[in-house]
Structure 1
Amino acid sequence: MLTHDDVTVPDAIDCFRQAADLPIQYWGFKDVGLTTREMEQLVGEFRSAAKTPVLEVVSFDEKELLDAAALAAHCGVQYLTGGEFSQAVRERAHSAGMRYFPFCGRVGGSPIELTGAPEDVLADADRLRDLGADGVDLVAYRYTDGDPIQLAKQVVHEFGGDKVIVAGSINSAERIQLMHEIGPFGYTIGGALFDGTFAPGGSFRENLERVVDVDATVDGGPR
């Protein structure tokens, strides 16, 4: 994710160009931080490099979500993730050929938190599947009412790893290892790359190179 503090970084296009040759297939951004023209250009860069564009939305207002879905369709995004589930957004996403992964569970606040009993989160994931979502965006490390790792394992086990994206706060080699053990379809890393968490003092590319190296030491799992 070319984002920091839930905003697309202003030099997202340059960051991508510097790292486009790395073996990272899925590249994402938020619907805030760039102009529409810049977002179009960013997605164009992704597509030219044969990458898969992802837009994650942190919103709970249906009008804002519909606007984000329209923006994603206009830019040529392939995955629309985050936000509160909306049937209208699902229909718009699917009509544009996008896959739709909304937040599951009770998510809210700023910064966002996931609250509730594990069984409630699981029930919501089931509800979203029944309503036609392609998968769920699980903010596991923002879970405040229990063990985030156990919750992620339960959701992946019950819902299917291919239908779960774990979003946010993947900021260590240990957490990357855990993602491989849990087995979601994917996980997102954003701010840690810009904070120099993986390669202190290093550039965005150097931090992402370190993530690639860590990821390569683990068999299977998300990329």
Structure 2
Amino acid sequence: MPRTSPDFIFMLTNQDRTVADAADRLKEVLAAGITHVGFKDIGLPFDKLLDLASAIKASGATLYLEVVSLDEESERRSAQAAIDLGVDILMGGTRPNVVLPLIASRNIRYYPFPGKIVGHPSKLEGTIQTIVESARQLTAIKGVSGLDLLAYRFNGDVEELMTRVCEAVDKPVVVAGSIDSAERMAAVVRSGAAGFTIGTAAFNGAFSGSSNLRLEIQTECEVLRRIQADACGIAAPVLTRT
């Protein structure tokens, strides 16, 4: 059982692309009390991403960039974008040999994907054993701060995958992609993951059935509190919405 609740990282993304109205949506996200916010490196022109990054940093939230890079050159560009955007945590990608030399002198934590990543939206391929071994190899590299695990993009026993990866490494594991139900969120908590991302599910109103993003995020936070309270055997507080 995890000692603390995993970080809820809200991604201003839908179907692995930063949403066109991300700047306006950010206001709703922050009003809902979220303190970890990220976006992808595709979906908006770079000047808009710069403005978005500045607004997130100005709010005091931790800033994440998750890269969508299928080749070496685009991954290099994504790492440079992370530097230019001033992100706190760079997630995704599969080439630490490309990324780490670029960010070595920067205060950026790096969480690459373990396993084989294919397509867009991204899918995770391999067996549990090969993904666990990939996780071990990545976290043994100096400069790799944690992992970005696309658990629910894996066609297999997802809870076993999450648990085994978290048990196999001594660095934080963030579970990303397709967490769209209380059952999946509870499985993430049980696995011991340090954090998880939600983006598309929130824009689709997966937890509240509402198109009101602030209400949706508040519902997700309430679900997380209740899951954590159940795990600890205590009564969860009732959320008062404003």
Structure 1 residue 26, shift from structure 2 partner: 1.1
CA distance in 2, matches of 1:35, 1:111: 19
1:94–1:100 contact (8 Å) kept in structure 2: no
Q: Runs of 5+ in structure 2 lacking a partner?
A: 1-10, 232-242
Show the counterpart of 1:137.
Answer: 148
Alignment of 1:4-83 (within 5 A): 4-83=14-93
CA distance in 2, matches of 1:193, 1:163: 24
Q: How many residues align?
A: 219
CA distance in 2, matches of 1:37, 1:104: 30
SS of the residue corresponding to residue 192 of structure 1 reads helix
1:156–1:164 contact (8 Å) kept in structure 2: yes
Normalising to structure 2: TM-score of the pair?
Answer: 0.85
Show the counterpart of 1:91.
Answer: 101
Show the counterpart of 1:118.
Answer: 128
Structure 1 residue 202, shift from structure 2 partner: 2.5
Normalising to structure 1: TM-score of the pair?
Answer: 0.92
CA distance in 1, matches of 2:42, 2:104: 22
Is 2:189 aligned against 1:189? no
Show the counterpart of 2:212.
Answer: 203
RMSD over aligned Cα atoms: 1.6
Greater length-normalized contact order (CA 8 Å, ≥ 6 residues apart): 2
Q: Runs of 5+ in structure 1 lacking a partner?
A: none
1:57–1:83 contact (8 Å) kept in structure 2: yes
Show the counterpart of 2:234.
Answer: none
CA distance in 1, matches of 2:67, 2:35: 20
CA distance in 1, matches of 2:103, 2:91: 10
Alignment of 1:101-116 (within 5 A): 101-116=111-126
Show the counterpart of 1:214.
Answer: 223
Show the counterpart of 1:149.
Answer: 159
CA distance in 2, matches of 1:103, 1:203: 31
Distance 1:120 1:175, change over 3 A: same
Show the counterpart of 2:236.
Answer: none
Structure 1 residue 174, shift from structure 2 partner: 1.5
